[in-house]
Amino acid sequence: MKKLLSLITGGLIKDVGGVIDSLTTTEEERLEAKQKLQELLEKADQDAQSQITEHWKLDMQSDSFLSKNIRPLVLIYLTFIFTALSFFDGNIGGFQVAEEYIPIFQSLLITVYGAYFVGRTWEKSKKQ
């Protein structure tokens, strides 16, 4: 989530850090200001996560098929399209997955397996 937040802010944090550095005179003041800024960003991240969780809970309570299943359907669609494009990209005559796709597949597998198995383990331990 931190990567996503830094992507969304588009370097804003670095710019704010530069302003803090130019306005503060001691290293202690700079570190304190940066620490407070980090705490604010972490709180904003936690608030965003709780909003998403609440939204998902409301979706699951809905009677609409689409609101309950939009995320899995989009996931299936994007996975299918990405896999098809990566397998058929330039593979006329011989099959080879282009090197650009390999890190993406690795990241996807680690994320999915990690989320599933860690999530299942956490659910089971929480029930006990």
Q: Inform me whether the pLDDT recorded for 4 exceeds 60.
A: no
Q: Inform me whether the pLDDT recorded for 9 exceeds 60.
A: no
DSSP 70: H
Q: How far is CA 58 from the centre of its chain?
A: 21
CA 45 – CA 82 distance, rounded (Å):
29
pTM: 0.43
Token pair belonging to 49: 């996560």
pLDDT band at 40 (very low <50, low <70, confident <90, very high): confident
| pLDDT, mean of residues 17-27 | 69
pLDDT band at 124 (very low <50, low <70, confident <90, very high): low
CA 42 – CA 37 distance, rounded (Å):
9
| pLDDT, mean of residues 62-87 | 82
